[in-house]
Amino acid sequence: MNEKNELKELKDELFYAPKHAMDVIGDDEVKKADDFAEGYKYYMANGKTERESVEFFMAQAKEKGYSEFDRNKKYTAGDKVYYNNRGKSLILCVFGTRPITDGVKIAAAHIDSPRIDLKPNPLYEDTSLAYFKTHYYGGIKKYQWTALPLSLHGVVVKADGESVKVNIGEDDADPQFVITDLLPHLAAEQMKRSLADGVRGEELNILIGSRPFSKDDESEKVKLNIIKILNEKYGIKESDFLSAELELVPALKPRDIGFDRSMVGAYGHDDKVCAYPAAQSIFDVENPAYTCLTVLTDKEEIGSDGNTGLNSSYMKYFIADLAVMGGAQPWNVLSKSECLSADVNAAYDPTFPDVSEKKNSSYVNNGVVITKYTGSQGKGGTSDASAEFMGKVRRMLDTSNVVWQIGELGKVDAGGGGTVAMYVANLDIDVIDLGVPVLSMHAPFEVISKLDLYMAYRAFKVFFEQK
């Protein structure tokens, strides 16, 4: 008996055993996590696209005393600024008491999510039904997007330069849109297609109308009726689609999932489930020692390229401005900086165990997940965080009782993926991926745990509060 206890003690001391958050935290913290999720759900209902997310967080920032960044101004510790990059990415910054040459602390999350974009010339009529042609954005399983209520979000820049905001399908009084699918009775041939090919890119056509403009003997009267409605409502003509960014996203509201309400189901957890806590944590940080940045970026889902993505220079230029203000060289600040690349990981799904390796997977409710490297085919296309930085982050989380776990993105050679981490690392910044495990990642309706979401908030906060 004694010997048995001794062995158990030795195991407890020497083995690594990830813990369920409920085994670690108290009732008060569970309550805090549940409350935090309410604010998150509100955001998820109102910030479904990168543009709407920027507006959401900018409004919040202004309420919290943030002002627009001016590179010609002098800032002092405690000042709060935001930098809006083309309405699609946003930097929130709080100035610290330490000199800028000590580097900055960055939490970088992305606010774009997989979706269906309109083609530049989208509108057509076929057999008295009106449609939009689309080009999907990011990694989706196309079959998941049919027979699903969709809403239309974005912006149209008219011929005269005026910009018109579009948001149709979220309000209960709004119409919605849908991609139709074949009935099973007639899908014998379709069902023989592979899942990847089950619904094809050119079959993702959005049904937008069916009633003709008039009884006249003219062609394309349904299309005419649609553009007439759009013209009356927004003042746009068909050619204005050529200068538009219009995105279809699931018209689903965030909901609690499970009898115990422990999870949240919503569109776009990847990566808004990291963007939201990254923003709230910088809002809540008081008089930080280091200058802190929350970077909410665009275009991650298509590889971070483009001037609103983190493979561009906008974050580097922002930090360079801070450096110049502090009389330092930009690279001296970058080299001393640290970043939590705040992105989701795939939670272990017991229904599909084959793609995961159990010892190195992240689990729902085991806390925020640290991913040392992503990539594919032997760590290709990633930043593999150093043991030193991993050690530092681990100590930081442990001393603050943040529940965390380690996780790879699936089995070796099962597939893979990437985050913004490598683009940050390429700036000579220490970086590691840290985020929330997600079930059904990239599906129109993804699932996360409220406790994991809250642990992400706590992790970013202690990262910003380093002395």
Nearer to Mn ion, 227 or 248 (CB): 248
When asked if residue 298 is in the footprint of Mn ion (CB under 5 A), the reply is: no
What distance in Å separates the CA atoms of residue 52 and residue 240, rounded to the nearest whole number? 21
Which 326-345 residues touch Mn ion, going by CB under 5 A? 343
Provide the minimum distance between the beta carbon of 270 and Mn ion in the complex, in angstroms, as a whole number. 4
Nearer to Mn ion, 264 or 333 (CB): 264
What distance in Å separates the CA atoms of residue 162 and residue 301, rounded to the nearest whole number? 29
Of all residues in the shown chain, the one whose CB is closest to Mn ion is 271
Reduced to 3 states, what is the DSSP secondary structure of residue 308? coil
Best CA proximity match to 290, nearest among 339, 331, 330, 341: 339
What distance in Å separates the CA atoms of residue 33 and residue 274, rounded to the nearest whole number? 14
Tally Cβ neighbours within 10 Å of residue 45.
15
Nearer to Mn ion, 270 or 298 (CB): 270
Provide the minimum distance between the beta carbon of 454 and Mn ion in the complex, in angstroms, as a whole number. 19
CB of 466 closer than 8 Å to CB of 289: yes
Provide the minimum distance between the beta carbon of 343 and Mn ion in the complex, in angstroms, as a whole number. 4
What distance in Å separates the CA atoms of residue 256 and residue 270, rounded to the nearest whole number? 17
Provide the minimum distance between the beta carbon of 368 and Mn ion in the complex, in angstroms, as a whole number. 14
What distance in Å separates the CA atoms of residue 402 and residue 21, rounded to the nearest whole number? 9
Best CA proximity match to 335, nearest among 93, 100, 107: 100
Nearer to Mn ion, 247 or 271 (CB): 271
Which 261-280 residues touch Mn ion, going by CB under 5 A? 270-271
Nearer to Mn ion, 274 or 323 (CB): 274
- Four-residue CA torsion sign, 326, 330, 331, 336: positive
Provide the minimum distance between the beta carbon of 448 and Mn ion in the complex, in angstroms, as a whole number. 12
Which 413-432 residues touch Mn ion, going by CB under 5 A? none
Which 36-65 residues touch Mn ion, going by CB under 5 A? none
Nearest-5° Cα angle at 114, 294 to 85 = 35
Provide the minimum distance between the beta carbon of 140 and Mn ion in the complex, in angstroms, as a whole number. 10
Nearer to Mn ion, 301 or 430 (CB): 301
Contact map string, positions 342 to 361, toward Mn ion, x by CB under 5 A: -x------------------
Binding footprint of Mn ion on the chain (CB under 5 A): 270-271, 343
